[in-house]
Chain A
Amino acid sequence: MILLTRRATFSAAHYYWNEAWSAEKNEQVFGRCSNRHGHGHNYTLEVTVAGQADPVTGFVVDLKWLKDVMEREVLSAWDHRHLNLEVEEFASGRMMPTSENMAMAAWRRLEPAIRAAQGAQLNRIRLYETPEIFAEYRGGA
């Protein structure tokens, strides 16, 4: 089995705020990230697929195809958006737009399209919020 990874970058705004908590508790738990006007990051999305190299093309998947899938399923919805205000899975306090939840949300967006292509399986999502901070999701429980 070969693991193949493609990266893409996007920029978005977010903040952390739990409506069930007082302002003091939000500030205590989330620190500067609780600023209600939001702040932004240059995110890096790393998508790893697992499969066998095709004997004819030598590809696990066509990287141009994977780029298009990432663009269509994730970047078109998240790039240059305010995650808390404009993005379906995070809007109206549905889910906190942390890197952890974003990695899991990216999995849910990408996995059906990759599975449908019947070439390789989605193996891992890594979402970098800064070069020093990332979340990872490998699916399953």
Chain B
Amino acid sequence: MSGAGKAYFGRRYMLSASHRLHTDALTAEQNRAAYGKCNNPHGHGHNYIVEVLVGGPVDPATGMVINLMDLDRTVNAKILERFDHRDLNGDALFATQVPTTENLCRAIYGLLQGGLPAGQLESVRVEETENNFFEYNGA
């Protein structure tokens, strides 16, 4: 019913969260120099776009790499419920690392990898604004 080979399925989600880029490893002045406006003490927020790419063979019975409803369920449970309308600095994952979008991207990859069938997660892309995005594929 379908051709051979690996195909990829991607889906975009949105979450709104606040963060502040700051590390205790640097002085106040060094933090300001490194992070600029993102170091403002009270934090600021973004509408993050999380793009999840899943790869694998196309199931001949469904024509799908993954059922969209299963992917939605996993992303909702593992990512959106955890981070949407939250302060990223308060999340346990960012107790020991700065919530830059690089680190958020890797954290999301790690959380999804545990929730999806082995080997399916290909990469995660997080868009912080229209002009900034970050990608991680586990490598």
Contact = CB atoms under 8 A, between A and B. Distances in A.
Interface residues of A, number: 31
Interface stretch (B24-32, B64-72, B97-105): B64-72
Contacts of B62: 16, 18, 29-30, 96, 98
Nearest to B65: A100
A41 to B, nearest CB: 13
A132 B7 contact: no
B11 A104 contact: no
Interface string B7-28: 1111111000000000000000
A140 B9 CA distance: 16
Contacts of A64: none
A133 interface: yes
B53 interface: yes
A134 interface: yes
B76 to A, nearest CB: 14
Interface residues of B, number: 23
Contact of A139 (B2, B5, B13): B5
A135 interface: yes
B138 interface: no
Nearest to A132: B12
Contact of A16 (B1, B9, B63): B63
B95 interface: no
Contacts of A132: 11-13
B61 A20 contact: yes
B88 interface: no
Among A29, A31, A95, A136, max chain B CB count under 10 A is at: A136
B15 to A, nearest CB: 13
Interface of B: 1-13, 53, 58, 61-65, 67-69
